[in-house]
Amino acid sequence: MTITRDEEPSAPAHIVIPQLDEQPVSIPTLEVSTPSDMLGVFFSPDGHGTTHMKQMKAKGLMWVDLLDAKPLHSRDTWLSFYLQLHLRMVWGLLTVILAPNKMTKIAQSLYYR
């Protein structure tokens, strides 16, 4: 069985999960360089963490935009940063294998916005 997805090349499905009422569901095999979302962490087996860092930056920019729409007192802004945004961003950093200078370059524009 071959799975075809619009954004990824075709790959054989090695795992098929039988369903009670429907046809079996196949889990596609992805390329090693294709990141996938696993519990909020974008992980790729080749160890390239750029996708994860870009997704975390996007979450941060959305947080900043929400604060621009409805400003908070500075103390509440920092509390929100540490309790919401910071925890979301650092959750997957242990699995990201990326050179520190590349990681800083991606995240730096968020911190100085």
Spans of all domains in the chain:
1-30, 32-111
Percent of the chain residues topping a pLDDT of 70: 79
> Scanning the structure block, which residue is given the tokens 């390329």?
31
Q: Rounded to whole angstroms, how far apart are CA atoms 42 and 23?
A: 29
Q: Rounded to whole angstroms, how far apart are CA atoms 90 and 43?
A: 14
Chain segment 12-23, per-residue pLDDT in tens: 667 888 888 888
Tell me which H or E stretch contains 48.
none
Q: Rounded to whole angstroms, how far apart are CA atoms 106 and 103?
A: 5
Chain segment 78-106, per-residue pLDDT in tens: 888 888 777 777 766 666 667 778 777 77
Inform me whether the pLDDT recorded for 63 exceeds 60.
yes
Give the pair of three-digit tokens for residue 98.
């990326």
- Whole-number pLDDT of residue 11: 60
Secondary structure class of 13 (helix, strand, coil): coil
Q: Specify whether the backbone of 19 is left (phi greater than 0), alpha (psi in -120 to 50) or beta.
A: beta
Secondary structure class of 3 (helix, strand, coil): strand
More confidently predicted of 31 and 97: 31
CA–chain centroid gap for 75, Å, is 28
Give the pair of three-digit tokens for residue 5.
């997805």
